[in-house]
């Protein structure tokens, strides 16, 4: 029973920390969704640890605790993929912004040349 309570408290504490980080604007809600889902999962499995055993038997897994590890690795892989997609999008936006800034700087330089020639 102690490990169940510890797991539930860990999930609840993690959820509180994530909500506090959102409140203090240290974490964007889009990123917090994943962490809140993990916290809720840990919390639920803390109170109902036999869910993993039940699901493992239904899926034909010989050693059900491995199912939790495989699921965790799968979630991490999806999270990493989403992070890479977001990082690539940000790099593309930054590159375009830098190019636009260079164009504007060249136009300003050209305008200054024309202005100094005209005076």
Q: How far apart are CA 101 and CA 105, in angstroms?
A: 6
Is the C-alpha dihedral spanning 60, 66, 71, 73 positive or negative?
Answer: negative
Q: What does the pLDDT look like over 30-55, one tens digit per residue?
A: 888 888 888 898 888 888 888 988 99
Average pLDDT, the chain: 90
Tell me the pTM.
Answer: 0.69
- Does residue 101 register a pLDDT over 80? yes
Q: What does the pLDDT look like over 10-19, one tens digit per residue?
A: 888 998 999 9
Residue 63: how many other CB atoms lie within 10 Å: 9
Q: What percent of the chain has pLDDT over 90?
A: 45
Q: How far apart are CA 55 and CA 29, in angstroms?
A: 30
């Amino acid at each position: 029973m102690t490990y169940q309570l510890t797991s539930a408290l860990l999930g609840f504490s993690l959820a509180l920390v994530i909500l506090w980080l959102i409140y203090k604007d240290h974490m964007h809600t889009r990123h917090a969704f994943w962490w809140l889902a993990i916290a809720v999962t840990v919390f639920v499995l803390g109170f109902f640890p036999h869910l993993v055993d039940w699901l493992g038997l239904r899926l034909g897994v010989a050693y059900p605790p491995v199912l939790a590890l495989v699921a965790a690795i799968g979630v991490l892989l999806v999270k990493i993929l989403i992070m890479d997609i977001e990082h690539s999008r940000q790099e593309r936006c930054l590159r375009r912004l830098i190019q636009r800034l260079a164009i504007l700087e060249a136009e300003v330089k050209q305008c200054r040349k024309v202005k100094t020639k005209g005076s």
